[in-house]
Each structure stands twice: as C-alpha cells, then as structure tokens.
Structure 1
C-alpha cells in the first residue's frame, strides 16, 4: 500500500507579510536557499554553459555572446541584492521583483513594456512523501530568459538535455519558446503526480472491497486534499496559458502560440483528471460510510431478532417467578393464585412452552428470509 496512508504534508516556506509595506518591497522568505546560478547561452550551432555564476558573470556572458539566446537559471531566492541587481540591469519593475520573492503567487502572465513575466506552481512528491508546492517565476526580455525557483532541485533536466542535443526548435525559436518549454515541463510533471495519485486511488478502492477499515476514509481524504491543491494550480495555469496565446507581445511569436495551444489542451486534460479523481475519492468515502452504516444495520438486526425471541420467554419466566402462595397461613386455598405452580411436571410444561415460542419465532424469521441477509 505504500506510505501514503499517513497524513499528506504540504511543504512550503513561511511567508513574510508586512502590513502596509511599500509596493515593490523585496521580502525574502524565511529559510530561502542561497541562489545557485547557471547560464545557458546558445544558438543554432553553439551551446555554452557557465555554472556557479554571480551578477558579474551574468553581465559578461550576455555581452560576450551577443548573438546567443541566454537562459539564466536561478535556484534559490535567498539573496535580495542579487534580485535587485537583476531588476536594475534589465529594467524590471519593482512589483515584478516583489512577486518573484513572494512565493505564494497564483499562476499568471503579465505584459510590460519590452518584457513579459509569468509564474507557475511546481508540484511534486519529495523523498519524505511530502507534497511540495513551490513557485516558478520567469522573465523574458530581448534574447534573455531568467527563471527563478525556490529549491535547488534540478526540475528542468529534460530542457537541458534538449539544449545539449540541439535538435528541434529549442535553440532557434527564441526566448519565448524556452519560456513555453519550461511551462510545458511543469504541466507534464502534473501528469506524473496525477498518475501516482491514480495508482493510490486504485489501491485504496481495492482495499475498500477486500478488507475495509477506518484508514480508508483517512486515505481518501488525504488524496482529496492533494487533488484540491493541484486543482488550485491547474485552473489559473489554464488562464495563464490562454493569456499567453492572446498576447500581442513580439516575444511570444506565432510559432510559440501554436505550441501553447497544445499546452492549453494538456492543462484542460489535467483539470479533467483532477475532477474525475476528486469524484472517485468522494465516492470512496461515501461508499465506506454506507458500508459502515449497512454493517451497523446488520448488527442491529441480529440484536433485534435476539430481543424479539427472548422477550416472550422473559415474560413467561417473569410471570411464574412471582411465586404467589396457593394457600394462606391456615392452609386454606386462595382463589386465582397461580394454580400452575402446583401442577405436576409444570416446570417441563413451561420449558416446552418457552422453547416452542422461541423456535416458532425463529421459524417465522427464517420464512421471511431475514437470516439470508445477515
């Protein structure tokens, strides 16, 4: 059954909320990781990779490779000065920089003069079984794509492999295509998470039919909670992709929009899977509660049959257990005082009567088919 029957935890950093703070304030999240920067500079025939960079390396690389497209990959948001320097170097609005470090943003796409900005939610299960829901932010300007991620996890390894292979449009379609490829990779990983959740739902459903217990309800509730988190990412992601398709920015070319329509279809498919899985988990909970209720009804039915059988027997035993005296203290007969107490073999007659009533009631219940339904 795996380890999913324990509570699903949502791993996230604590956000800093400064009430009344100036718009554009860069407040680094508590526990944010130190940035790790890699620059990929490429064109149709060349790919240059520079690791462990700083702001000086970024500016030098861009100037040196002026005929290249640059993907600046930043993992970790724990350096406010670096983010401010990037904003100054590229002329990025302070509100955009604020959205990058405020990692509770919903997926969105915004257009500015000379550049575009977008966010997405990266969702996956880590090695501890925690559901990680972190933010991806990207800026596209001229021949530059800058991506920001909260963790040091290499989430976009498939993009790096495609860049090294140099096939297809990955090197020639411009920075807008790179931004689409990053978004599409995030969507593809939604299907990986949904596939794992689908397997867990099937296992929970099998357990419901084979050996139902109360853990099924808890498992189904945790699965449903996970699906709700994914749903909260899929719905705005669809709107984000739709905004990119309708964008009039030159950075999002017609060819890129063609690919974005395919990504839009993938997003709709993921949303449909989430909704169908939610219905299945709800039906599992309802079915388990119905089975518990039916089981309780069966138990009550058995107890009712036992009570109905023994009520008349208890009534007879109670009557003849009153022990009213047949004669008074002078030996005179007292009229109407239980003459059966002095019958020969009266005890045998009482037992026969009681067994007769008991077996008679059981026969009636059997004829009605009550025992077949227990």
Structure 2
C-alpha cells in the first residue's frame, strides 16, 4: 500500500495596510498581471475576445449590443484596470478594494443597480498543494464580471456549455451565469472532499496494517485542510441564502430556483466536512490509544521478566556476599555462610534458581498473563 502524500499549503500571505484610506486599491506584490477574456452571447451567437486593457471590454460591448457579456479577469495585478472597470460600471470603491484584498470571506452585497459576491476557490494543484484563492463577481444589467487570482481554467465546464449553446445558459441572463460559477465552485468542493476521503482511507489502512507516527501527522494535516474547507462552506451557505432572499432584479426568480439546489449542495458539503473531521479526530485518538496499549504490553512483558528475575537476583546477591566460613587460622566463624564449602553448591544454587523461575512462569501462565500479551 502506498503512503499518503504530504499536504502542503500554498504560501498566500495576507497583506495588511494599516491606516490606509477605505476604498484604496492596493495590489499585492505577488499578484499576477491581469488578462481579460470576454464571452458575449445570446441565443444564436457567441463572440469571444481577449486582451489586457479596458479597450478590450469597451470594444466588445459596443460591438455586441444585444448580447449578454461575461467579462472574465484572471490576475489582479493591474490597479489601473480595476479603477477603469470601477469607473465604467460605476462600482463603489469599497467593492474594488474587496476584490483586490483576496482574503474576504464568502458574502453577497446589494448596491444600487448591481450586486456583488465573493467565494473561495479551494483545490489541490498538481504539486499536491492546497490552493485557497478568492473568486469575486459583479452582476449589473446585461454584464457579469468575474475576478480570479490565477490563470487556472477553473470554469472550463461552463465555457463548454456556452460554446454548445444548449439549455438556458445563454438566455437566462448574467444572474444565472453568476449562479453557475458559484455552483461550479461548490461542485469542486465535492471533488476536493472526495480526494480527502481517499487520503483518509489510506491513513486508516496504514493504521491497521503498519501504524507509525506519520499517521498522526497526516491525519492532523487533513484535519487542518477540512477546517479551511469548513471556513469556506459556512459563509457560502449564508451567502447563497442571502441571494435567495434578495429582491434585486439581477437575481431573477428562475435563478433563485437553481440557487436553492446550490444551497442544498452547500449543506451536503458541510455535512461531509464535519463527518471527515470526526473521522480524522478518531484516527488520531485511535493511534494514540494503540500506542498506549502497546506501551502497556511492553511494560507487562518487562514486569513479568522483572518478577522472574527478582528472586533469582536476591539469591545471587546473598551468595555473592562471599562471607568466609573459616578464618585464616582454620577456625570456624560463627554465623557465617555454612553453604560456602558444600559440595556441588554452585549446581544446587542454579537448580534452585531454575526451579523458582519455572514455578513463577507456571503461575503466570495459569493466570493467563501470557495469552494477553
């Protein structure tokens, strides 16, 4: 059986700017350059364009006036682009600050003419690192604009559906696209939890077959991973509930029906997280219990060995004192060891010691001590 891979957590430090003006757009030094992809679509047509500046957005929107536009921004390293988007769509500066400050908890906010939401994208990358990054989305009129920290094609399935043009993905509006993005994030939580479940199974198999201290470390790492997923799932549930209760025209009644299904998925993910957390805690407790029992067994063996050798050591110690029976003039010394000059005394002593050991072993065996080792 293979060993579980060590879970690593991708370094993603929080950048704190104490005293900064509210609404300040401060780009982290490790942010990736922004890349823009625009999907403009209606029931009969899909237009795709790519670029890196605001002109890419304005040209596409001006060209496709009767389309719904999904503006996808990958990388948050361009402060000028963020400001231009805010000006073009009349977005509050506090929203732009939340987009570039990528340690937001999942939430849903309503503003005059648009809605804003964030989620956490969590997955294992190819190097078995746990990636925890932010997704942000703004829905306004016939536009949805999404922001992602990396270039990873996390929403490939949605793009495939857009290109196929089946169902109502092209006709249900930007609010529905926002729902599909959230639903994809939730679906990938289940993928992540499935991978965690497989790792837990490997740890359990190792626990029963060849336990060692790495089990405790691996289980603790998975427990930490589950805590991260839990911190994303709980506020995500509240966020979806806020969307269902929203009276914003950007979130239509038809979209709310699908959001109820996403709400159920979020509850299921939360239940799985709690179940796996209990299993990992049980694995740690069971391993510690096995170590304790093993230690008790070792101590029992040592106790039996000590109990056998204590009387033997006593006899050897008594006759090891070697007090002479006679002095240097041949006179018998009173109360000194009379057995010192007994013929075959050494053999008799060994036989006595062996008999005592055999009797003790027989008594221990009758009491069932050896069967419990």
TM-score w.r.t. length of structure 2? 0.97
SS at match of 1:251: coil
Deviation at 1:3, TM superposition (A): 7.2
**Correspondences of 1:80-119 after superposition (within 5 Å):** 80-119=79-118
Deviation at 1:104, TM superposition (A): 0.5
Equivalent residue number for residue 176 of structure 2: 177
* Residue 271 in structure 1 maps to residue 265 in structure 2: no
* Residue 131 in structure 1 maps to residue 115 in structure 2: no
Deviation at 1:64, TM superposition (A): 2.5
Deviation at 1:149, TM superposition (A): 0.2
Whole-angstrom distance in 1 between the partners of 2:3 and 2:46: 42
Deviations 1:161-208 (A, max 9, x none): 111111111111111100000000000001111111100110110011
Equivalent residue number for residue 350 of structure 2: 351
Deviation at 1:158, TM superposition (A): 0.6
Whole-angstrom distance in 1 between the partners of 2:15 and 2:97: 12
Whole-angstrom distance in 1 between the partners of 2:322 and 2:87: 106
Equivalent residue number for residue 189 of structure 1: 188
Equivalent residue number for residue 72 of structure 1: 71
Equivalent residue number for residue 206 of structure 1: 205
What RMSD over aligned residues (CA atoms) do the two structures have, in Å? 1.3
Deviations 1:247-298 (A, max 9, x none): 1101111111110010001001111111111111111111111111111111
Change (3 A) 1:89 1:12: farther
Change (3 A) 1:63 1:191: same
* Residue 220 in structure 1 maps to residue 237 in structure 2: no
Deviations 1:198-241 (A, max 9, x none): 00110110011011111111111111111111111111111111
Retained in 1: the 8 A contact 2:34–2:52? no
* Residue 148 in structure 1 maps to residue 150 in structure 2: no
Deviation at 1:327, TM superposition (A): 2.3
Whole-angstrom distance in 2 between the partners of 1:195 and 1:299: 39
Unmatched segments (≥5 aa) in structure 2: none
SS at match of 1:30: coil
Whole-angstrom distance in 1 between the partners of 2:320 and 2:14: 77
SS at match of 1:316: helix
Retained in 2: the 8 A contact 1:13–1:30? no
Equivalent residue number for residue 43 of structure 2: 44
Retained in 2: the 8 A contact 1:5–1:215? no
SS at match of 1:154: coil
Whole-angstrom distance in 1 between the partners of 2:55 and 2:352: 104
SS at match of 2:102: coil
SS at match of 2:18: coil
**Correspondences of 1:5-16 after superposition (within 5 Å):** 5-6=5-6, 8-16=7-15
Whole-angstrom distance in 1 between the partners of 2:157 and 2:241: 24
Unmatched segments (≥5 aa) in structure 1: none
TM-score w.r.t. length of structure 1? 0.97
Retained in 2: the 8 A contact 1:12–1:134? no
Whole-angstrom distance in 2 between the partners of 1:2 and 1:56: 53
Aligned residues: 373
